[in-house]
């Protein structure tokens, strides 16, 4: 059961199918067929440009982002797919919120759909703090198959852990 820790909240029938894929050793192949590509957004500078371009395309009236970077210390599980921080500090006597987006560094080496999904998720948090309906509407606006991509990303994280356990 703990092997499906990334998939909590999905219906039992879905989880059964995932277990079947794992039991038949077909999860890796399934993912590779659906997501054969790798993106080229490797540096923090490129990541910032990538996120800011998405923001300008879809969320023109959202606040600008001060910083976006790959964080090797970010725990994907506990921080639920990335993390968004608004660091407040006093600037010239006025409180100014810095908008920073940290992306777990494992996303440096993923299919482009997964990088987009996580960046879309964090961008949506610029406007909605909670994971509510309005939040997911924003995500789907930026990436129409957002929910499918999030599910596939969770499958990918599951597969990654299985591979790591196998290699250990
Ligand atoms: Zn979130």
Contact between residue 154 and residue 118 where contact means Cβ atoms under 8 Å apart: no
Distance 52 CA to ligand 1 centre (A): 18
Q: Average pLDDT of the chain?
A: 86
Average pLDDT over residues 3-16: 87
For residues 143 and 153, what is the distance between their CA atoms, to the nearest angstrom?
14
What is the reported pLDDT for 79?
53
1 pLDDT more than 50:
no
Question: Does 136 score more than 70 pLDDT?
Answer: yes
Question: Contact, 3 vs 159, CB < 8 A?
Answer: no
Rounded distance from Cα 68 to ligand 1 centre (Å): 15
- CA dist 140 and 117 (Å) reads 10
Alpha carbon of 24 to ligand 1 centroid (Å): 32
Q: Which residues contact 49 (CB under 8 A, 6 or more apart)?
A: none
- What's the pTM? 0.86
């Amino acid at each position: 059961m703990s092997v499906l820790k990334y998939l909590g909240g999905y219906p039992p029938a879905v989880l059964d199918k995932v277990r079947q894929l794992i039991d038949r050793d077909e999860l890796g192949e399934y993912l590779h067929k659906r997501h054969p590509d790798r993106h080229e957004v490797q540096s923090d500078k490129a990541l910032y440009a990538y996120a800011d371009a998405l923001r300008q395309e879809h969320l023109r009236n959202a606040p600008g982002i001060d910083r976006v970077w790959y964080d090797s210390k970010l725990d994907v599980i506990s921080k639920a797919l990335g993390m968004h921080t608004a660091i407040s500090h006093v600037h010239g006597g006025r409180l100014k919120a810095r908008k920073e987006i940290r992306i777990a560094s494992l996303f440096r080496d993923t299919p482009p759909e997964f990088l987009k999904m996580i960046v879309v998720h964090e961008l949506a948090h610029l406007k909605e703090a909670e994971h509510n309906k309005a939040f997911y509407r924003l995500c789907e606006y930026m990436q129409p198959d957002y929910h499918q991509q999030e599910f596939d990303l969770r499958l990918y994280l599951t597969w990654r852990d299985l591979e790591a356990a196998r290699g250990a």
